[in-house]
């Protein structure tokens, strides 16, 4: 172990205010001094690089060192954000929220105290709350910025730090070059000040009125229900239930049957191996409960309630809908609302937007209704900025149904919108499954699939992307590639993105991109069929997806 590495570790230890991370770092240092190679390797992993601050803020495992999430790193981020904001305006303000993850509250309180100590008005939300409430609060309180302490659906020992901007950004998450500007301020703080040298001051705590305002604004999105579907709900050990229950009550819906084992916040996430509704097994308890009570609908939020998962009856069991299916139905609902709002011969107004890796179905809806349509890079920091937005979604279970009040994905308002749709259908004797069939009859059948490749070494992921660029495939499986768009230097008005888009014979599409939050390479497959009977359309589109899935697995093996 080099002396420099040891000095950096000791310097960090000296400023760490957290007894737990202090103790585990001291143990690592002692083991490394004694010649333990594993401890030396772990110190290199934590101190040879720094957890990068980007458009998604910070996210990582809770542990000591600059390449992990901890109180020192979060304090530096808060001080850097304060310096950035003070360089933009004379009297900035920040509202801070936090969820139920490990250290979320202490990270939020540290941030508030350090922001206040720097001369920024800091307002802490009154208790642990969903991410959408924080996004709402930025606009509702007319704050200069917002901070949400959450790692969303990451593993239990992770946490994160998301930043929103008010003013002209209308409460959306940061985009370049703001992320780099804040990052530069954070590094300047880290170079100049230890944690205990950062000034701290008393901060404000918001009262419950901000939560009540969110509940009222969200409940107003749905008309009084004409039917009451039987619903099973899970919060996935997160913070969604209390707020969602209040929204349902205000909107006139019955209280759902809950998955009791998962309804209260629990940072250990004891009933799921990975607290993400997309992961295999995460919805098992919900499916069991729904079968027991004969539910018409399963609604699941992820731990910070910015994502929504839906499952519906299917034969003797239940089928979880894909994010693309939910996005298509909610997009159709938004288009119908826009069409009904248009008077006389006026055309419907507004824009439907989705990420480039989401289903092209939303574009078909927009064309049918004469609405604007925009594809953006992945992430609601981009989707929320679409001009004239009335609805946005991304296939990873994110939906924005209320852009007038929240400029981020919102699993609570989306859940209400979907439940309202289910109630309207039930009142006329139809189901969500019937509505999916009607969608395919009107717009054609859209099928999608995804291949997710996990890498322990980031260089392997980068090497695979390089190989696909240097040796572009002529076919995927048995389907000919017509052209490939490389988005790495920007494309058709999009900012640069490490993404490849393959256009296949017959109109199918494959997207390949590294995940922004996990060590994965993601492959998104979409196909469409609009001729023949409903069953013929479904069979044709799904056969194409299956062939492209097989072909991409072979290409990336």
Q: Is 452 a catalytic residue?
A: no
Q: How confident is the model at residue 1 (pLDDT cuts 50, 70, 90)?
A: low
Could you give the CA distance from residue 137 to residue 210 in angstroms, rounded to a whole number?
7
pLDDT in tens, 510-553: 999 998 767 889 999 999 999 999 999 999 999 999 999 999 99
Q: pTM of the entire structure?
A: 0.95
pLDDT in tens, 225-263: 999 999 999 999 999 999 999 999 999 999 999 999 999
For the residues 153-166, what does the mean pLDDT come to? Answer: 96
53 and 174 part of one domain = yes
334 and 378 part of one domain = yes
Structure-token pair, residue 154:
């990451």
Report pLDDT for 347.
85
User: What's the chain's average pLDDT?
Assistant: 96
Indicate whether 540 belongs to any domain: yes
- What's the distance, CA 519 to chain centroid? 16
Could you give the CA distance from residue 283 to residue 272 in angstroms, rounded to a whole number?
9
436 and 465 part of one domain = no
Tally the C-alpha atoms within 13 A of residue 48's C-alpha that lie toward its C-beta.
8
Indicate whether 16 belongs to any domain: no
Based on the structure, what is the number of domains in the chain?
4
DSSP structural state of residue 547: H
| Residue 420 clears pLDDT 90, i.e. is over it | yes
Task: Report yes or no: 69 and 51 within 8 Å, Cβ to Cβ.
Answer: yes
460 and 437 part of one domain = no
448 and 364 part of one domain = no
109 and 137 part of one domain = yes
Indicate whether 380 belongs to any domain: yes
Q: In terms of residue numbers, what domain contains 262?
A: 211-221+228-318
Could you give the CA distance from residue 413 to residue 456 in angstroms, rounded to a whole number?
36
Report pLDDT for 410.
98
Indicate whether 412 belongs to any domain: yes
* List 93, 104, 111, 152, catalytic entry: 152
For the residues 285-292, what does the mean pLDDT come to? Answer: 98
State the burial class of residue 389 (Cβ atoms within 10 Å of its Cβ: 0-12, 13-18, 19+). buried
pLDDT in tens, 303-346: 999 999 999 999 999 999 999 999 999 999 999 999 999 877 78
Could you give the CA distance from residue 252 to residue 271 in angstroms, rounded to a whole number?
31
Task: Report yes or no: 508 and 527 within 8 Å, Cβ to Cβ.
Answer: yes
Indicate whether 172 belongs to any domain: yes
Is there a cis peptide before residue 177, judged by omega within 30 degrees of 0? Answer: yes
């Amino acid at each position: 172990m080099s002396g420099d590495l040891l000095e950096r570790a000791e310097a960090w230890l000296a400023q760490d205010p957290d007894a737990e991370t202090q103790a585990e770092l001291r143990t690592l240092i002692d083991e490394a001094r004694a010649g333990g190679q594993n401890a030396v390797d772990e110190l290199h992993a934590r101190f040879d690089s720094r957890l990068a601050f980007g458009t998604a803020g910070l996210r990582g495992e809770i542990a000591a060192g600059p390449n992990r999430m901890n109180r020192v790193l979060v304090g530096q981020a808060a001080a850097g954000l304060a310096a950035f904001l003070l360089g933009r305006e004379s009297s900035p303000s920040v509202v801070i929220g936090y969820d139920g993850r490990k250290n979320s509250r202490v990270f939020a309180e540290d941030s508030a105290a350090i922001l206040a100590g720097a001369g920024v008005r800091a307002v802490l939300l009154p208790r642990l709350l969903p991410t959408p409430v924080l996004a709402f609060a930025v606009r509702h309180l007319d704050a200069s910025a917002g901070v949400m302490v959450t790692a969303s659906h990451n593993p239990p020992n992770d946490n994160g730090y998301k930043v929103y901007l008010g003013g002209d950004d209308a409460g959306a998450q940061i985009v370049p070059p703001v992320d780099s500007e804040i990052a530069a301020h954070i590094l300047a703080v880290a170079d100049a000040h230890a944690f205990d040298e950062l000034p701290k001051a008393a901060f404000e705590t918001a009262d419950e009125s901000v939560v009540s305002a969110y509940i009222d604004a969200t409940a107003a999105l749905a008309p009084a229900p004409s039917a009451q579907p039987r619903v099973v709900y899970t919060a996935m050990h997160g913070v969604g239930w209390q707020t969602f229950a209040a929204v349902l009550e205000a909107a006139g819906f019955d209280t759902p049957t809950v998955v009791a084992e998962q309804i209260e916040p629990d940072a250990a996430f004891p009933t799921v191996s990975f607290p993400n509704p997309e992961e295999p097994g995460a919805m098992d308890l919900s499916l069991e409960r729904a079968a027991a009570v004969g539910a018409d609908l399963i609604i699941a939020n992820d731990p910070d309630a910015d994502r929504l998962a839906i499952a519906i009856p299917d034969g003797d069991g239940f089928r979880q809908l894909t994010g693309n299916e939910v996005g298509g139905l909610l997009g159709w609902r938004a288009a119908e609302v826009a069409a009904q709002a248009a008077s006389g011969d006026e055309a419907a107004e507004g824009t439907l937007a989705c990420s480039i890796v989401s289903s092209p179905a939303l574009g078909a809806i927009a064309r049918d209704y004469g609405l604007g349509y925009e594809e953006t890079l992945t992430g609601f920091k981009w989707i929320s900025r679409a001009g004239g937005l009335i609805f946005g979604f991304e296939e990873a279970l994110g939906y924005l149904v209320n852009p007038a009040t929240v400029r981020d994905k919102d699993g609570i308002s989306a859940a209400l919108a979907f439940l309202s749709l289910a109630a309207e259908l039930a009142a006329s004797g139809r189901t969500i499954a019937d509505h999916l069939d009607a969608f395919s009859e009107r717009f054609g059948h859209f099928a999608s699939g995804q291949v997710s490749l996990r890498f322990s070494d980031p260089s392997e992921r980068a090497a695979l992307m390089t190989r696909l660029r240097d040796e572009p495939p002529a076919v995927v499986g048995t389907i000919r590639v017509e052209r490939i768009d490389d988005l790495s230097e920007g494309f058709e008005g999009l900012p640069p993105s490490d993404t490849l888009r393959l256009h296949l014979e017959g109109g199918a599409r494959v997207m390949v991109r590294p995940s922004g939050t996990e060590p994965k390479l993601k492959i998104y497959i979409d196909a469409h069929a609009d001729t023949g009977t409903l069953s013929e359309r479904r069979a044709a589109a799904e056969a194409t997806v299956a062939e492209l899935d097989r072909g991409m697995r072979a290409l990336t093996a």
